[in-house]
Amino acid sequence: MTTENLTIDDIARELGVSKTTVSRSISGKGRISEATRRRVLDYIEKKNYRPNPVARGLAQSRTYNIGWVVPGDSEMTTLFFFQKCMQGVIDAATEADYDVLITTVYDHNINGLQRVLDNRKVDGVILGQTLIRDPGILALKKSGIPFVTIGSTEEKNVVQVDNDHMRACRELSSILKMKGIASAALIGGTEDKVVTRSRRQGFEEGMAGVPVEFHMNCEKNEEIERAVEDVLRNRIECIVCEDDRICYVVLGKLKKEGIRIPDQVRVASFYNSALIEEYQPAITSLKYDPMSLGYTACRTLLSMIDGEKPKARQMLGYELMLRASTL
């Protein structure tokens, strides 16, 4: 009999114990003597035995799957963020011998997530984005399954992992104000996302006392370009973009109009990525680490699955990148 073909039955027969005793020794649960547990574990180590994931899951009433839920209608430019987050989730899950099941939701259509919950396919869920009124969070709370959100929410009793967007945007905006910027405009996306509202509030607080205008719910490129036209018409001194996707379109529009940065208008972004990283002049922006978000969220979820009670909210840091676009 090879080590690869070794089963719980084989171990039990070889050691003269029951299959239940072997399962309890592996899981660390149930009443058996320490001497017996040590004897089983020593034998397993000697034989380099690795429990079959399905059998181990049945023994511990687990699937050894984690659900990763992302918006199915994400723009190609925002997929990079979710991909980096997912890499962090996978890294943490792999360390714990878990697999990751990917599920998509569309705006307020959570049928995919609901099917996963109804069929009990996962031991816990990581929600990759939070909405102001989030049906995914409500469904997860109702299910009773452990879950963590990447992003903040005002829903009570929800474990959250997020970057401190409000503080970061407030700090960057206040620095722009200290640089003597006399007027500014924020171009942002849909305001049903928590992150959008957090960034807007940070901008307002940081720019307190400076004339500002808002162009929100700009999802399509044409809407962003019209906002840029309004900003130029109103002779606004600085355009602040809510994220990298918006900033990418803004930069393209300014180039098309022959507007020089920062001579004629200054530009900053509340999110930096490869999308705008190589632009010249370099763009003042906020840099986050989406892989750390995913990794931290997954480690937190795994601790919850094991019965631990984590901190209700973890805020990760950011890097302020002051560059030539706002000189």
CA 223, CA 228: separation in Å to the nearest integer?
9
Dump pLDDT digits (tens) for 168-219.
999 999 999 999 999 999 999 999 899 999 999 999 999 999 999 999 999 8
For residues 173 and 280, membership in a common domain is answered with yes
Show which of 12, 30, 60 is a domain's final residue. Answer: 60
For residues 298 and 308, membership in a common domain is answered with yes
Show which of 60, 77, 95 is a domain's final residue. Answer: 60
Domain that holds residue 53: 3-60
Q: 251-270: b or e for each residue (b if 16 or more CB lie within 10 Å)? A: bebbeeeebebbeebbbbbb
The domain that contains 220 carries what CATH number? Answer: 3.40.50.2300
Query: Is pLDDT above 60 for 52?
Result: no
| Domains contained in the chain, number | 3
Mean pLDDT score of the chain: 89
For residues 125 and 183, membership in a common domain is answered with no
* pTM of the predicted model as reported, rounded to 2 decimal places: 0.78
Query: Is pLDDT above 80 for 18?
Result: yes
Q: Supply the DSSP string of 222-261, one letter for each residue.
A: HHHHHHHHHHHHTT-SEEEESSHHHHHHHHHHHHHTT--T
Helices (H), the chain: 8-15, 19-27, 34-47, 53-60, 76-95, 111-118, 135-143, 165-178, 194-206, 221-233, 244-256, 274-277, 290-305
For residues 178 and 272, membership in a common domain is answered with yes
- The pLDDT value given to residue 10: 81
Average pLDDT over residues 134-154: 94
Q: Is pLDDT larger for residue 214 or for residue 53?
A: 214
Q: Give the lowest-confidence range in 15-29, 106-120, 170-184, 215-229.
A: 15-29
For residues 143 and 247, membership in a common domain is answered with no
Q: Give the lowest-confidence range in 5-19, 265-279, 280-294, 299-313.
A: 5-19
- The pLDDT value given to residue 78: 64
